[in-house]
Structure 1
Amino acid sequence: MDALSRDFFLFLSKNRGLNFMAKRWGKSIATGNIIGGIDFDSSIKHIQQLNKNGIQVTVDHLGEFVMDEQVARERTQECIRTIETIAAKNLQTQVSVKLTSLGLDIDMNLVRENMHEIMKVASAHNILVTIDMENESRCEATLELFRELKQQYEQIGTVIQAYLYRSEADLQDLNELQPFIRLVKGAYKESAQVAHTEKEDIRENFKKLIRKQLEGGNYTAIATHDDEMVEFTKQLVKEDGIAKDQFEFQMLYGMRTKTQQVLKNEGYNVRIYMPYGDDWYGYFMRRLAEKPSNISFALKGLTKK
């Protein structure tokens, strides 16, 4: 049933007609519930409220798979403007970027140039940029660029997906860089040749990666809505004497809001992943595919007053 639900939501995520309708008529429903806003400026008030409650934020300008060089450069400048606004308004906020939105599928030199532009500004303002992970076919190129940039910039991190077979080896290879890593379950449709497909196998690998990264002494973001993963992390850090300032829990904007505040009240670092932009439909469907039970939290958010 989980596999059917996952495939269903992934199918919906690629439906152009539904995506068009969501962009045209659904923005007012999604804004402030699933996304911060249609642009970064309209998201600021939501970020400030979270910061006021002691919760930090990571923002992501929605959109990927860009095949036009000019659009990729425009995306780069949007990211730079966002970083400069974060600094100017003293927001407790980081930035996440997808390399396909910056030209990964066009030319490696183009995406490299764009990332250097972003990182120069991010480093000047001491704002961390996380390179998001996309599907498995782009994993090696993403990690290659991350390794290259990490040699020059400290304020950079990346993402490892628990459902990929390769992830434990990737984490081991990156360990010498003492990287900031966001650990996630994984939200793209992958074949059984490259990824775990059973829920329990993914959970066990997720636990293995959490242990490996934390015991390696590297700052870690555990991005999950799964109570089992949260409790596993709590028990692990208690048993191993790992300080609470060595890791954070990350959750999606508009989902598990009570859990977020409970964790914050318990003294854990909590960060909310807040996307913005009008290309919200595909993002939302992939989140439901990643964990179909998220739909109950999302519907509550969409219908709240």
Structure 2
Amino acid sequence: MSKKVKCTGSVNMKKQGTYTLTYTVKDNSGNAASVQRSVQVCADPTATKLYYDHDSYDNTMEEWWFNKSKDHQRTTGAKDEKLLKKYDAYYQGPKEKVIYLTFDEGGNDITYIKQIADVLKKNNVQATYFLTRNYIKTEADFIRQLVKDGNVIGNHSWHHYDMTTLANAASIDTFVAEITETEKTYMEVTGQPMKKVFRFPKGGSSERAMKLVKDLGYSNYFWSHAYYDYASDVSGTEALKTMMDHYHEGAIYLLHPSNKGNYEAMDTFIKNMKELGYSFKTVDTIPADAKDK
């Protein structure tokens, strides 16, 4: 049948615009039927070339740290608030009863990320998943389901490098590729542009690296709640205690789905927080919410 279909019209993949293709087919009696389809050629949103003029910015790498919340009061972090604001960086949301669950997945051999996603879906909770390019590529079906369920996929770079080592004139193309190649893969997998949500691998950053990330159109998200869940497994009871001991208004939780305890504690944690009047949001809502406060 396909040999009998004639197509008229053409598409210039090098020129942006909308093109119309007409498909016509005839049956053995000579009766013809036709249908038109429109094809839109768009600019590649990941074809980014960043002009490097950033040597005047400090490139001293600093790991992210924060003061644990006491008595569920809001906390402070490693960097000056004015510096964070300057580069669209956040470690907590506005002062309201909202928790921002975030999960960092670098492609571990053992992970409970899919089980955690099922728990969140059952509780009608959306989260932000900071994922590397290779994970997005190899888990395409899962990524599409996460997006369908209303979750946000954050950019966690291509190779999980220390980005400050690439924040220089000699390596700027690699720095950019770490982010844009992840964007490109996300678009190939989902058919939609990636939200401009970034987290530095292992939280290591510098003023220069934050400036570069902002110049690429991204906001950066640190965290105000975390524990050593990446170092060794904990029980669900231990994980739940840690999550409950240090919650506060606007808390951004960093959790690693490689730890089974986080999975085992998640359902109870969500239910507990809802009983306390808290809701859950994705981190991309923070900038707009913060402006309203």
**Bin for the TM-score computed over the shorter chain:** 0.3 to 0.5
Q: Per residue, is there more helix in 1 or in 2?
A: 1
TM-score in terms of structure 2 length:
0.37
TM, length-normalised to structure 1 = 0.36
